[in-house]
C-alpha cells in the first residue's frame, strides 16, 4: 500500500528560489496536512485542508502556499526560499476526525 | 486553544527497565489524545490513541497510556524497554469539541521526548 507519498525526499535550494513539495495519498482521505519539524520544537502545522477546494492556514503559514484541486493531492509551494525554511516537512492525511493520521516519510529541505 | 507539554526532552533507561514518558495537555473540551513514534529519518507512526471509552489504552509494541482527566495527563508506559524502542516519541491532542462535519480537525504536537535505551 502506498499511503502518503512525498517528493522529493531531499532538496537543496538557494535563497530566493521557489519549489513545490508534492504530496499524494491513495486512501481517499478528506483531511490533509503539512507540518514542519525543527529540532526540539516538535511539529508545527503549516496548512491543512478538509477537502478538495478547501484550505486554511495553520500555525506557521508565512512563506508557504497550498492548493487542493483533487482529493489525492496537496502540494506545498515555497516562494522566495529563506534559510528559516530549512526544515523537515511532513505531509499527513486522515479519513475523518478521530481516525489515525497517516504521515509521509518526510522531505528534507535545506536553504543556503 | 489546545496545547501539549511533554516533560523531559530526553529520557534514558536500561534495557528491561520501565519506560515512562510524560504528557500533559490543555483543552477546553474533551480531547482526542495520541502518541506517535518517530524512528531516525522516518515519518511518524501511531502508537496508540484515546478518543472515548476505556481510559487505559493499549497500543503497538507493548506500549500503553492512561487518560486521566483530573490530572490532564496521558502518560505513555512500557513495562520492559527493548533496544528497538529507542526513538523519539510525540504526544498530540485534538479538541473533540471542534470535531464535526467540515470542521478544522487537526493535531497539536508536543516537542517530543527522545528515548534512549542502554544495554
Per-residue pLDDT of chain B (119 residues; tens, 9 = 90+): 778 999 999 999 999 999 999 999 987 777 889 999 999 888 899 999 998 888 899 999 999 999 999 999 999 999 999 999 999 999 998 865 444 444 456 788 999 999 999 99
Long-range pairs for B96-99 at CB < 8 Å and ≥24 separation?
A: B96/A98, B96/B29, B96/B30, B96/B31, B96/B32, B96/B51, B97/B28, B97/B29, B97/B30, B98/B29, B99/A97, B99/A98, B99/B32
Q: Which residue of A has its CA nearest to B93?
A: A98
**What is the structure's pLDDT at B47?**
95
Say yes or no: A95 contacts chain B, CB-CB below 8 A.
no
Name the nearest CA neighbour of A31 among A90, A78, A99. Answer: A99
**What is the structure's pLDDT at B100?**
47
**What is the structure's pLDDT at B13?**
97
Contact residues on chain B for A90, CB-CB shorter than 8 A: 43-44
pLDDT 10s digits, A85-103: 999 999 999 987 777 889 9
**What is the structure's pLDDT at B101?**
45
Name the nearest CA neighbour of A41 among A59, A18, A22. Answer: A59
Biggest distance spanned by C-alpha atoms of chain A: 39
Q: What is the mean pLDDT of chain A?
A: 93
The three-state DSSP-derived secondary structure of chain B is CCEEEEECCEEEEECCCCEEEEEEEECCCCEEEEEEEECCCCCEEEEEEECCCCCEEECHHHCEEEEECCCCEEEEEECCCCHHHCEEEEEEEEEHHHCCCCCCCCCEECCCEEEEEEC
Per cent of chain A over pLDDT 90 is: 82
pLDDT 10s digits, A12-41: 999 999 999 999 999 999 999 999 999 888
Q: Which residue of A has its CA nearest to B111?
A: A42
Instruction: With CB atoms and an 8 Å threshold, state whether B41 touches A50.
Output: no
Q: Which of A21, A38, A55, A97 to mutate to test the interface with B (most CBs of B within 10 A)?
A: A97
**What is the structure's pLDDT at B104?**
57
Name the nearest CA neighbour of A7 among A67, A83, A76. Answer: A76
Amino acid at each position: 500500500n502506498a499511503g502518503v507519498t512525498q517528493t522529493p525526499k531531499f532538496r537543496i535550494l538557494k535563497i530566493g528560489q521557489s519549489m513545490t513539495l508534492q504530496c499524494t495519498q491513495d486512501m481517499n482521505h478528506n483531511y490533509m496536512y503539512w507540518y514542519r519539524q525543527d529540532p526540539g520544537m516538535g511539529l508545527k502545522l503549516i496548512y491543512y485542508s478538509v477537502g478538495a477546494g478547501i484550505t486554511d492556514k495553520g500555525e506557521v503559514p508565512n512563506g508557504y502556499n497550498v492548493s487542493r484541486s483533487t482529493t489525492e493531492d496537496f502540494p506545498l509551494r515555497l516562494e522566495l526560499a529563506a534559510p528559516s525554511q530549512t526544515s523537515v516537512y511532513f505531509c499527513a492525511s486522515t479519513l475523518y476526525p478521530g481516525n489515525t493520521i497517516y504521515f509521509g516519510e518526510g522531505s528534507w529541505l535545506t536553504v543556503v | 486553544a489546545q496545547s501539549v507539554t511533554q516533560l523531559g526532552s530526553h529520557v534514558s533507561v536500561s534495557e528491561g527497565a520501565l519506560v515512562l514518558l510524560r504528557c500533559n495537555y490543555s483543552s477546553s473540551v474533551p480531547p482526542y489524545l495520541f502518541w506517535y513514534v518517530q524512528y531516525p529519518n522516518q515519518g511518524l507512526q501511531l502508537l496508540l490513541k484515546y478518543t472515548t471509552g476505556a481510559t487505559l489504552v493499549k497500543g503497538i509494541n507493548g506500549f500503553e497510556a492512561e487518560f486521566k482527566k483530573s490530572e490532564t495527563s496521558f502518560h505513555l508506559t512500557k513495562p520492559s524497554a527493548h533496544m528497538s524502542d529507542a526513538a523519539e516519541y510525540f504526544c498530540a491532542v485534538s479538541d473533540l469539541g471542534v470535531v464535526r462535519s467540515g470542521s478544522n480537525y487537526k493535531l497539536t504536537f508536543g516537542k517530543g521526548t527522545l528515548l534512549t535505551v542502554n544495554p
